[in-house]
Amino acid sequence: MTHKVRLILARHGQTDWNAQRRFQGKTDVPLNEAGLNEAKALAERLKNWPFDVIYASPLSRALKTAQIISEVNVNGGSIKVCNELEEMGFGIWEKLSIHEVIKNFPGQYEAWKDDPSKMIPPGGESFKEIIGRVKPVLEDILNGQNREVLVVAHGGVIRAIVASLLGLSPSGIWHMRLDNCGLVGLVCKDEQASLLFWNDALHLHVPFELIDKLPIL
């Protein structure tokens, strides 16, 4: 890659399971009313950013967020759905709340939170597997012709992308908070990536009519 790619990563809006602190993983849970409003605020924030393409997870909470963004974006932002961007699988933890996992699987949640590359939820995916799964998408983004790229996906997948690009440890990246509809920005050039910002969610905390005044970079 010799050209510069500006890469924005966006987490999807809230679902009922997010609000209940349940593991969603590959379970297709839709946006709730709050999540739809978050996605609209995110779309307002990004409407003047001329994305060449939007990559999106096929799970409805991410795809719907991407569609809301695309509908108002100055470029329209054609959407490329990639199965590789599905959230990491949490196996038998899916549908359970964090409290239920801690109660029913003593010590496992703490071990996973400390380093998801070493402790895998029963029937789930390791963080290493997620990094391998998203690699073809990253290669497509970095070696393609697009210069302004948006990825709408999930917390685990976004962490895998950033960890892969920046060479960060799995344990370190999981200690970085990422809110629903939070933004992560990177610039990639000459096989190197630089982090511009992490978890920018100002658009969720100002009046809607002021959102388009907020900067992106």
- Give the pLDDT confidence of 89-131 residue by residue, as tens digits: 999 999 999 999 999 998 898 898 888 778 899 999 999 999 9
Determine if residue 22 is labeled as part of a ligand binding site. Answer: no
Determine if residue 45 is labeled as part of a ligand binding site. Answer: no
12 among known catalytic residues: yes
- Give the pLDDT confidence of 175-198 residue by residue, as tens digits: 899 999 999 999 998 879 999 999
Of 12, 44, 84, 86, which residue is the catalytic one? Answer: 12
175 among known catalytic residues: no
Structure tokens at 142: 């970095």
The pLDDT of residue 216 is 75
- Give the pLDDT confidence of 22-66 residue by residue, as tens digits: 999 999 999 999 999 999 999 999 999 999 999 999 999 999 999
What mean pLDDT do residues 135-146 have?
92
Domain locations along the chain: 5-149+167-184+197-212
- The fold for domain 5-149+167-184+197-212 equals Rossmann fold (3.40.50)
The pLDDT of residue 172 is 85
Q: Does the structure show a pLDDT above 90 at 212?
A: no
Determine if residue 17 is labeled as part of a ligand binding site. Answer: yes
**127, 117 in Cβ contact below 8 A?**
yes
Determine if residue 35 is labeled as part of a ligand binding site. Answer: no
Confidence label for 132 from pLDDT (cuts 50, 70 and 90): very high
Of 38, 84, 86, 87, which residue is the catalytic one? Answer: 87
